[in-house]
Amino acid sequence: MSLAALKPIIRKHSEIGIFLVAVFLVLFFVATSEGRWNNAYNISTILQVTATLGLMTLGVALVIGTGEIDISVGSTFGMAALIYLFLAVRVDPAMAAFAAVAAGAAIGAFNGLLVTRTGTPSLIVTLGSLMIFRGLAIALTSGFAFSVPYKDRGALSYFILGGDNLFRIGTFPGVNTGFLWLIAGLVILSIALKLMPFGNHLLAAGGSAASAHSRGVRVDRVKLRAFIICGVLAGLAGVLEAGKLGSADGSMGRMMELQATASCVLGGCLLAGGRISLVGALMGTFVLSSIQSYLVVRAIPPQWFIVLLGLIVVLAALGDRKLRQWALKR
């Protein structure tokens, strides 16, 4: 099979690039880590990190699909984690989780309404809410303890919201329940995106807002929904992370908005909107968390992760563009 035969496949599936990168990286990590990377314990850690960041990434990918951007998710994540921990010990974990996710939805609605009603660029609006809710989170945590003691975490609701050791088989320590939430999120959103009118409207709004509008798509409403879903997912991710760790501070979720955006770019989502791949974005998340864990197991100073993250984001964007240009050339 010649290389040219791949072109139509690449044209249709923007996530191919990130799969190639992932395969290459996994082979490289396996070959160079002497078994310290590719063991059951490490893989399970990677999957757990992927689960929370991945949920957030799914939401960001939807917003990017509409041609907007949401960089407030890191703060939404942190706020939801704090609300969940605050209420879980006082009321009930399930109620607390509901309240936290609702808060995420409210932040999403706040962003979405400001973007659609005032026509302000989403980068600025979500930059503003990133700061507003980060400041709130830090202010809230000075003087309060936000933690759930381990002995109190026996109830079923605690297990569902971020409990450990699911699918424990032999030496494989299992995954966090967050992973199931991620799979559920991926399946539901993929169906909504590929098989429902909502997905069509969302991609149309991002591809050409004017054309979508002229065909009767309520672009504003579609965008608002995407922002709310994004807030909900970031909130849920925050709840799961807080449930797993049992404690949180004001800086929780910092820089995660950048990692989530990076995952989307890695996964072949076009920042201009109209073209996204949920599976690709999750693959991007997996690649980021794999690299992070590789640095840990190779005892490379963790600072390198930031350098690599930066270079990878730019190289991935560049590579994606070149690959696309190549694929478009018949």
Residue 8 CB, nearest distance to another protein (Å)?
13
Q: How far is Cα 77 from Cα 240, in angstroms, rounded to an integer?
A: 10
Which one of residues 4, 27, 131, 187 is an interface residue with another protein (CB under 8 A)?
A: 131
Return the structure tokens found at 291.
């690299």
Contact 287, 18 (CB under 8 A): yes
Which one of residues 12, 90, 151, 329 is an interface residue with another protein (CB under 8 A)?
A: 329
Would you count residue 272 as binding another protein (CB under 8 A)? yes
- Binding part of the chain for another protein, among 113-121, 146-154, 195-203, 204-212 by CB under 8 A, reads 113-121
Nearer to another protein, 110 or 179 (CB): 110
Footprint of another protein on 140-159 (CB under 8 A)? 142
Footprint of another protein on 81-100 (CB under 8 A)? none
Nearer to another protein, 215 or 322 (CB): 322
Nearer to another protein, 43 or 308 (CB): 308
Would you count residue 321 as binding another protein (CB under 8 A)? yes
What are the distances in angstroms from CA 328 to CA 12, 69, 135?
Answer: 10, 26, 46
Residue 136 CB, nearest distance to another protein (Å)?
6
Would you count residue 109 as binding another protein (CB under 8 A)? no
Would you count residue 5 as binding another protein (CB under 8 A)? no
Would you count residue 124 as binding another protein (CB under 8 A)? yes
Would you count residue 207 as binding another protein (CB under 8 A)? no
Would you count residue 317 as binding another protein (CB under 8 A)? yes
Query: Quick one: CA dihedral 132, 137, 143, 144, positive or negative?
Result: positive
- Binding part of the chain for another protein, among 43-51, 136-144, 147-155, 173-181 by CB under 8 A, reads 136-144
Give the total of residues touching another protein (CB under 8 A): 48
Which residue from 140, 162, 137 is spatially nearest to 75, judged by alpha carbons? 137
Would you count residue 2 as binding another protein (CB under 8 A)? no
Residue 326 CB, nearest distance to another protein (Å)?
10
- Give first-to-last CA distance, the chain, whole Å: 16
Would you count residue 120 as binding another protein (CB under 8 A)? yes
Which residue from 205, 206, 182, 164 is spatially nearest to 55, judged by alpha carbons? 182
Residue owning tokens 């605050």 = 86
Contact 37, 294 (CB under 8 A): yes
Which residue from 65, 64, 50 is spatially nearest to 283, judged by alpha carbons? 50
Instruction: Please state whether 67 falls in left (phi above 0), alpha (psi between -120 and 50) or beta.
Output: left
Report which DSSP code applies to 152: G
Would you count residue 210 as binding another protein (CB under 8 A)? no
Which residue from 265, 315, 259 is spatially nearest to 289, judged by alpha carbons? 259
264 sits in which H/E element: helix 256-266
Specify the length of the chain in residues.
330
Positions that interact with another protein (CB under 8 A): 69, 114, 118-121, 123-125, 127-136, 138-139, 142, 250, 258, 261-262, 265, 271-272, 301, 303-314, 317-318, 321, 328-330
